[in-house]
Structures are given as C-alpha cells and as structure tokens.
Amino acid sequence: MVQATSADDAMSGSMAAPIRLARTGDSTTIARMSRDEIETGLGWSWRPQRVLGAIRDPNTLAIVHGHDRVEGFCITQFAEEIGHLSLLAVDARYRRRGLGRQLVAWMLASARVAGLATIHVEMRTTNLTARAFYRALGFEDAGVVAGYYRGIESALRMVLSLRSRDLPEVTWEPPTAWRGPQDH
C-alpha cells in the first residue's frame, strides 16, 4: 500500500494514511470537496452521482488519501494514450503536507503502467497556486482554452509526457482483499 508521509507526520509520530481507490461511499464527500475547493463560482457539475459514475467507470482512476476520512482525492480518465486529470483537491486542513503531490505520483505511476503517453490537466488561468504546483511536477503549458469552464472562465491546459521523464517512485502492495489465500 502506498503510505503517504510528510515531515509533519514524522515530527508528530503520527501514522500516515494510505492512498487507496475511492469507494462508492466516498462520492458525496468528493463531490462536496469539488464544489467547495474547485468549482466555486462555476456551478456544481461534479455532484455525487457524477462522482459515483467516475468511481465505477473502468476507464477512470479515482483515488483518495485517508483511512475513514477523505483528506484529498484525484480523479483521472484514461483513454488509449492520454490521461485527463479532471479533479485534484486536498481538504484545507491537510494542505502543505505533500498529499497532492502523493496523489499525483500514484496516478502517474498507474498511468504509466496503463501505457499512457501523456497526462493533460486544466486549471483556471487565475489559479497561480495550481500552475506552480503542476510546473514543479514537470507539467508544461500547452495553451489557453477559452471559455473552458461553462463559458464563464478560461483554462490553462498543461501537459506531462510520461514517456520521456523519470516519474516519482511509488511502491504499491495490493490490499488484503485482493490477495489470494496463499498471500495472507
């Protein structure tokens, strides 16, 4: 299992929460976080039913950070060679601990295993924090998409090539429920 750790965790001695696949029961929390952290001023399009559909979609990777509480999440659609990182958010109480970076690293490792060549992400052109975050991870500007957010606001599209870069290392162990009897 991917263990999320931070300097804060190490200093406090607290047990790090895992990154795991999103469960159907996470859909309402993820939808609310999307509404409050991402979709502010745009209307609410990632409602619980849409999030639930993404969780159940075999071409979508929906992951969360946290045991019983969703501290952060990432939803990415996988196509033949392109992944689209649709949503990434970390609860304000858990920011600046590396959770967003860990979620993206886990997603990128999964995308590379799936054979994807690139990952695309869009963010509001005014979201300087997101731009800096993705640039630090190696994403490059690919252009502005006018009216991307329901005609209300434009987006900056950024792209990361998975074939020409070293990606952050992620170790993964299948959850106990996935292991066969001989593995227990």
| Residue of 71, 94, 134, 149 marked catalytic | 134
Catalytic annotation present for 122: yes
> Tens digits of per-residue pLDDT, 141-158?
999 999 898 888 899 999
Give 11's pLDDT tier (boundaries 50, 70, 90).
Answer: very low
Report d(CA 89, CA 85) in Å as an integer.
11
Of 124, 120, 121, 131, the closest CA to residue 150 belongs to 124
Q: Is 149 a catalytic site residue?
A: no
pLDDT higher than threshold 50 for residue 160: yes
173 confidence band (pLDDT: 50, 70, 90): low
Query: What's the average model confidence in pLDDT over 20-48?
Result: 92
- Running DSSP on this structure, what letter comes out for residue 18? B
Instruction: Give the three-class secondary structure for 5.
Output: coil
Catalytic residue among 122, 148, 149, 173: 122
| CATH class, 7-118 region | alpha beta
Coil, strand or helix at 55: helix
pLDDT for 179 equals 44
> Domain residues of the chain, as ranges?
7-118
83-108: burial string, b at 16+ Cβ within 10 Å, e else: bebbbbbbbeebeebbbbbbbbbbbb
The verdict on pTM exceeding 0.85 is: no
pLDDT, mean of residues 98-126: 94
